[in-house]
Structure 1
Amino acid sequence: MRDSILYYPHIEIQNEKWLKSAILLWDNVYRIVPASYTPKDSDEVLRACDNDLVRAVSLEKEDMSRIAQDFQDFLDGMQYKPAGLEYDEYAYLHPEKIDSTLYPTLEKYAQGESDEGFLTLPREVVRGYMFFLSTEVAKRRQLARCTDDKYSFAVSSYFSEAANFDDFLYDREAEGFYSSLIFENLLPLNIDSIPMSAVIKASENSKDEKSAFKLQLSKFSEQLYKCESIDHGKTIINDFRKDLEQAKQDLKASQGFLNKDDVGSFFSIGVPTSASVYGALLGVGGDPFSLYSFSTSMVIGAIAAYKNYKNTKSLQENPSGAAYLLFLEKEFSGTGRYPAFDRYLEEFIND
């Protein structure tokens, strides 16, 4: 896990609760801001900017030129177009975020321009393009990526995994799965009532604990990806259950906002996971798409089956491709009280 993140897919950070939570996990939050645009920030976001915790990324020629062909090849290489690329909801994309060689391609999807000159595009096309752009920006600056939008988190996996899913997302016999690893009660749910100044102070005082938690998470995700033995999968779970839980409790204690039994928001990371890990967790005949708790506050569940697991990369091999979600709503949809990430992706691909 990197020390700083790139926020996607928007310019404005409209959710102050999300920003405060992000500051408790990472040293800095970066965002892509076109040179001619001034973000419409709230006072609390501006306070974080003034303390150098929120930083602007100025796009460079290399950022734009490297993704133009990649995104064009991705669109041209689709065997079939996901339903989400023909969806009837629209979003805006600033023209300064588009390379001139790619502009004609995106214009084919465009529905016009806003009064401020933003290109009006299907929402998922914007998300897809912003994935490519944010990944290149993150890669060149050694950043991870994080969002506050559960739909963007799910849909971006289609692009981050190079469309390595087909229309049969629920193949329970696949060699591996793109999964959501969820941590409950990591961050205070009532963080909106905590002043930004207190959040900033807590973040500064917990740097060592933040690093220790992220190190354990990185090690665990690597093992989930590589494991090819069901027996060894059980060992991985048992070894990391204790280490991750301890690192999580140390982080909470260092921040001072949550007591041991307090209810908090949750944090999720998308991880490639071998079928052997689910065999170890669920046993023969278990369903990877059922959420599984492997500790009192850690849950894992498949979002989609890979078409070819051998074509995947671990987060250590491709750290800028990692997607994180900080989710702060009190009521969740889907199975129990969790977002239904698999259903969001299914809707995007098959409508």
Structure 2
Amino acid sequence: MSFGHALYYPHINLTNKNWIKHALLLWDNISRIVPDSVEPSDSEDIITIKSESKFIKDYRPTSGDTSQAFYNFSQELRPIIESDAFFNDRFFRRQRERRDYERDYHNRRSFFSDMVQSSGTYIHVEKMDRDLKGYLIDIGVAIPGQREWEDWVKIDSEIGMLYMTYFAKSISKNKSLPIVTDVEQSFSTSLYFESKIHSDYKNQFEYKLGNLLIETIVPKNINDVPLDRILDVRNKYDSERTAFFNEISNLSNSISDLDNGSALKDALNQHSRIILKETKNLEELYNLNKIETATKFLSISLPTTIASLTEYVSEGAKPFVTAGGIIFGMVSAANSVKKDKLELKQNPKSYLLNLKSELSGGDIFTRVNDTVKGIRKW
């Protein structure tokens, strides 16, 4: 179980607002990998999230992180670099004649360097072991950053993505944190190899199922929902969100046969359907409960014991006794209904119903969280 805290990668700056809003509705915290010498270029929204919810944390990578990533990554790197598939892919991108670069080391190095120069991505030097940096530059899949990028290495985009996955995994192993990303190809980079880095399918199942369910429930145009509204909903239903997350984590721990991407996809499809169906059933229970509430109050009668006592009470006092019986009956019914509603509210799937009610503008039922607070809410 991840206990609600995840490690984000591959970027420093969080720019995907849609992803951030969904993450706010699922996780307790997200840590991002930020070197000591880097000050993130955060937007006003990210600054607000950090100051008001403490949702985003910065993790400073250590030399142990980089050396472990180098050790694991180097075992995968050479077969990729030397493969014809890797070369052919870049050859067709550049539309050059392969015979000029086929096996000659210097020509290959020049060819890769040209690719990196035109379409590479940057990784900060504090995220990379020094020996790895030298090796990548030597074989041509990386070049030193220039001018304002002198503390960075420009690297082949797919190799860079693969390395950042290894780097995040090495940190997650040490910190017992699952890794999450808003870049889907992070889990499918280097299509030519089924790398062991992609084999943590149970971990993927946990966060992908949670995100999938929330994305299904909340409006498609969540970008139009103001950030302060998302933060308000997160705060208001914090305990329900935790219960929902724990149910997803427990389900993930109970699944043992996720050993490939196809099995992951099937599991996500199956369990999302089951949970959404159960959520729909819970919604129907709420609607039914709302009807039963009105019925209970319409059918309240005097308790027989109170009614029998009226034979011995003066006519002047009888209205008070009768009123007392009605109040007694109302309180009993109210307590019964509150108990029923509380049991429904404690169902982890009630969180999804709260999100639907709060963010989709649906007036299907009174919000789950509000229905247990008093008769006036009914």
TM norm. shorter chain > 0.5: yes
Deviation at 1:71, TM superposition (A): 0.9
- On the 8 A contact 2:12/2:33 being kept in 1, the answer is yes
Tell which deviates more after alignment, 37-46 or 218-227.
218-227
Deviation at 1:45, TM superposition (A): 0.6
Q: Which has the larger radius of gyration?
A: 2
The two structures, once aligned, show a CA RMSD in angstroms of 3.8
Alpha-carbon distance in 2 for matches of 1:162, 1:9: 18
Letter aligned with residue 274 of structure 2: R
Alpha-carbon distance in 2 for matches of 1:261, 1:151: 38
Residues 164 and 254 of structure 1, relative CA distance in 2, 3 Å threshold:
closer
Residues 60 and 239 of structure 1, relative CA distance in 2, 3 Å threshold:
closer
Alpha-carbon distance in 2 for matches of 1:240, 1:214: 17
Tell me which residue corresponds to 1:69.
71
Alpha-carbon distance in 1 for matches of 2:270, 2:194: 26
Residues 227 and 48 of structure 1, relative CA distance in 2, 3 Å threshold:
closer
Q: Secondary structure at the match of 1:92?
A: strand
Residues 83 and 77 of structure 1, relative CA distance in 2, 3 Å threshold:
closer
Alpha-carbon distance in 2 for matches of 1:238, 1:62: 38
CA displacement 1:181-206 (0-9 Å, x = unmatched): 65451333322233322222222333
Q: Secondary structure at the match of 1:26?
A: coil
Q: Secondary structure at the match of 1:213?
A: helix
Letter aligned with residue 103 of structure 1: K
Where does the alignment leave 5 or more consecutive residues of structure 1 unmatched? 166-177, 263-351
Tell me which residue corresponds to 2:142.
110
Tell me which residue corresponds to 1:29.
30
Q: 1:188 aligns with which of 219, 222, 229?
A: 219
Alpha-carbon distance in 2 for matches of 1:76, 1:29: 32
Where does the alignment leave 5 or more consecutive residues of structure 2 unmatched? 94-114, 260-265, 280-346, 365-378
Q: 1:253 aligns with which of 353, 356, 361?
A: 353
Letter aligned with residue 47 of structure 1: T
Deviation at 1:209, TM superposition (A): 3.0
- On the 8 A contact 1:213/1:244 being kept in 2, the answer is no
Tell me which residue corresponds to 1:58.
60
CA displacement 1:101-124 (0-9 Å, x = unmatched): 322222231144243222111111
Tell which deviates more after alignment, 34-43 or 107-116.
107-116
Deviation at 1:261, TM superposition (A): 10
Letter aligned with residue 135 of structure 1: K
Greater helix percent: which structure?
2
> So what's the TM-score if we normalise by structure 1?
0.58
Residues 159 and 148 of structure 1, relative CA distance in 2, 3 Å threshold:
farther
Alpha-carbon distance in 2 for matches of 1:141, 1:81: 37
- On the 8 A contact 1:68/1:99 being kept in 2, the answer is yes
Alpha-carbon distance in 2 for matches of 1:156, 1:261: 47
- On the 8 A contact 2:10/2:164 being kept in 1, the answer is yes
Deviation at 1:144, TM superposition (A): 1.6
| Percent of aligned pairs with the same amino acid | 25
Deviation at 1:259, TM superposition (A): 5.6
Deviation at 1:90, TM superposition (A): 1.3
Deviation at 1:240, TM superposition (A): 8.1
Instruction: Map 1:1-351 onto structure 2 (within 5 A).
Output: 2=2, 3-51=4-52, 52-78=54-80, 80=83, 82-83=85-86, 86=90, 88=115, 89-107=119-137, 108=139, 109-115=141-147, 116-117=149-150, 118-155=152-189, 161-162=195-196, 182-183=212-213, 184-222=215-253, 225-226=256-257, 241-242=274-275, 245-246=278-279, 249-255=349-355, 256-258=358-360
Q: Secondary structure at the match of 1:104?
A: helix
Deviation at 1:42, TM superposition (A): 0.8
Deviation at 1:58, TM superposition (A): 0.6
- On the 8 A contact 1:4/1:27 being kept in 2, the answer is yes
CA displacement 1:39-98 (0-9 Å, x = unmatched): 111101111121321111011222122121111112135583653884743111111111
Letter aligned with residue 48 of structure 2: R
Q: Across the two proteins, how many residue pairs are aligned to each other? A: 245
CA displacement 1:104-155 (0-9 Å, x = unmatched): 2222311442432221111111101100111112222222222222333432
Higher relative contact order by CA 8 Å / sep ≥ 6: 1 or 2? 1
Letter aligned with residue 258 of structure 1: S
Residues 40 and 226 of structure 1, relative CA distance in 2, 3 Å threshold:
same
Letter aligned with residue 102 of structure 1: L
Residues 163 and 133 of structure 1, relative CA distance in 2, 3 Å threshold:
closer
Q: Secondary structure at the match of 2:217?
A: strand
Deviation at 1:7, TM superposition (A): 1.6
Residues 50 and 154 of structure 1, relative CA distance in 2, 3 Å threshold:
same
Residues 163 and 132 of structure 1, relative CA distance in 2, 3 Å threshold:
closer
Q: Secondary structure at the match of 2:40?
A: coil
Alpha-carbon distance in 2 for matches of 1:15, 1:245: 31
Greater strand percent: which structure?
1
- On the 8 A contact 1:95/1:119 being kept in 2, the answer is yes
- On the 8 A contact 1:71/1:132 being kept in 2, the answer is yes
